[in-house]
């Protein structure tokens, strides 16, 4: 029996509410159920990617985002493409922070991912939140980098 797209979207909505409540285990069970029915359900792939990012499993998070990006390009789904670029920026920004790559290099290429998301879906609130957060944290990091020790 084939599931109707509306049914999968309703299931994804339930999984997303659970994910936002940080009930990752229950959310993941539902997301995996959706992905068994439709392996390239972009929204589910992105939600699962977020869970993997929270586990610091960058490799798997990137794999899932790339699958979501491919699916959303195929369906010409600009919103999920934009959300995929937001996740790519978030994942790569966090990876760079953990590895200590030089600040200007890190923020130069990561910022392009957020800006691409903004071009794809300029009215999507999540994109503006991610871009604003990125800019805020970048300024904060650069400001901290310029602070000189007091010598105490």
Grouping H, G, I as helix, E, B as strand and the rest as coil, residue 53 is helix
Q: Specify the range with the lowest mean pLDDT, choosing from 1-10, 66-75, 96-105, 110-119.
A: 96-105
Query: Could you give phi then psi for residue 76, rounded to 5 degrees?
Result: 55, 40
Model pLDDT for residues 72-111, shown as the tens digit of each residue: 999 999 999 999 999 999 888 787 766 655 444 555 678 8
Verdict on whether the full-model pTM lies above 0.75? yes
Mean pLDDT of all residues in 26-44? 96
Contact 53, 68 (CB under 8 A): no
Q: Specify the range with the lowest mean pLDDT, choosing from 15-19, 41-45, 58-62, 128-132.
A: 128-132
CATH of the domain spanning 5-146:
1.25.40.10
Mean pLDDT of all residues in 118-127? 93
Report the C-alpha gap between 86 and 121 in whole angstroms.
Answer: 11
Report the C-alpha gap between 137 and 141 in whole angstroms.
Answer: 6
Task: Tokens 């939140």: give the residue.
Answer: 129
Judged against a pLDDT cut of 90, whether residue 123 lies above it is answered with: yes
Task: Tokens 């923020």: give the residue.
Answer: 107
Mean pLDDT of all residues in 125-143? 76
Report the C-alpha gap between 12 and 41 in whole angstroms.
Answer: 9
Confidence (pLDDT) at 147: 32
């Amino acid at each position: 029996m084939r599931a109707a797209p509306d049914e999968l979207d309703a299931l994804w909505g339930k999984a997303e509410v659970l994910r936002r409540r940080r009930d990752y285990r229950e959310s993941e069970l539902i997301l995996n159920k959706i992905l068994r029915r439709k392996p390239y359900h972009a929204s589910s792939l992105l939600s699962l990617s977020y869970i993997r990012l929270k586990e610091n499993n960058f490799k798997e998070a990137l794999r899932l985002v790339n699958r979501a990006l491919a699916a959303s390009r195929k369906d010409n789904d600009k919103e999920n493409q934009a959300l995929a670029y937001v996740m790519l920026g978030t994942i790569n920004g966090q990876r760079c922070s953990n590895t200590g790559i030089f600040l200007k290099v890190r923020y130069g290429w990561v910022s392009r991912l957020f800006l691409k998301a903004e071009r794809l879906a300029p009215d999507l609130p999540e994109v503006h939140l991610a871009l604003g957060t990125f800019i805020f944290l970048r300024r904060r990091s650069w400001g901290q980098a310029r602070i000189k020790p007091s010598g105490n």
